[in-house]
Amino acid sequence: MGFVRLVLFGCLALSVVYLSISIYSRSVRREKLENAWAEENEGSQDMDALDAFVAEGIKAYNASFRPKLIGLVYIIPTLIVFAIIYLTNEN
């Protein structure tokens, strides 16, 4: 029963961490896109063009390798916990 609780709360905690990192990473990328657009179009007030530029950049970001790397938040801690459990029980 303890192992089931460990897995359940571990998945819950890792999901919170994953969502936090994912939201933060997207917000940083969005801010960089907005700054890049502002540098290219100084003084422009065309919000539709800005939204289109940012949407295209976020679409490219979603297809990149970086969001997939954030998925390692699930894999690495799980492997470490299993290694600790194995090494503890092995001795």
CA distances from 67 to 21, 23, 71, 85 (A): 10, 10, 7, 29
Cα(85)–Cα(91) distance, integer angstroms: 10
For each of the chain's 91 residues, which pLDDT tens digit applies? 888 998 899 999 999 999 999 999 999 999 999 999 988 888 778 889 889 999 999 999 999 998 899 999 999 999 999 999 999 998 7
Tell me the domain boundaries of the chain: 2-90
